Amino acid sequence: MYTGGITFSIVKSFGRLQLIPEAEGLRLCYVSIVDGVENKEAEGYLNLMIPLDAVGGLWATTRAFLYGVESLDENIILQGDEKSEQSDILIKLYRDKPRGEQGRLTGEELCWLRLVTGRTEEERRRIKLGPRDLLSIELACNAVLAIAAEAGTHRPQEE
């Protein structure tokens, strides 16, 4: 696991997700917990970077979920490399369908983070997020934006 700098952790009984703000984006490090111990050698280990251009959307959606306002899900797709047979990666922040009248939010909807890197069950991680977890994601994204602004690393792609 990464040590040093500022990190945020989301720990569940089955795994630990570290959120590591960097000038180029938000690094996600996921390690499975097997028999109560983190194991980098266990299936499901993940170390990937969410690019800077995608962090703002993740930040905004996380804030919307934290404050209970209407918002669409956030989907980030990182293109795989066909030559090395690397599949696309999906990072999805979403919540359950609204439970209120006429599809309105009640505040009881659960929030989830899905990290999909392949077809096996170990490559399809789904993490239930509580308010503390959402706050960790929001603060990590905010830190990325601050670090990138200070370092001058944001170079928007022209369309």
DSSP string covering 14-77, please? SEEEEEEEETTEEEEEEEEEETTEEETTSTT-EEEEEEHHHHHHHHHHHHHHHHT-----EEEE
Q: How many CB atoms lie within 10 A of CB 69?
A: 9
What's the pTM value of the predicted model, to 2 decimals?
0.88
The whole domain housing 36 covers 8-151
Please state the domain count of the chain: 1
The answer as to whether 159 is a domain residue is no
In a domain, 103, yes or no: yes
Q: Is residue 146 part of a domain?
A: yes
Q: Name the one residue in this structure whose structure tokens are 């997700």.
A: 17
Residue 157, in any domain of the structure: no
56 within a domain of the structure (yes/no): yes
Look at the alpha carbons of 58, 64, 68, 73 in this order and tell me if their dihedral is positive or negative.
negative
- Any domain includes 158: no
CATH number for the domain that contains residue 19? 2.30.31.10
- Per residue of the chain (159 residues), what is the pLDDT tens digit? 444 578 999 999 999 999 999 999 999 999 999 999 999 988 889 999 999 999 999 999 999 999 988 888 999 999 877 676 678 899 999 999 888 888 888 888 999 999 998 888 888 999 999 999 999 999 999 999 999 988 888 776 666
Sign of the C-alpha dihedral, residues 43, 47, 51, 55? positive
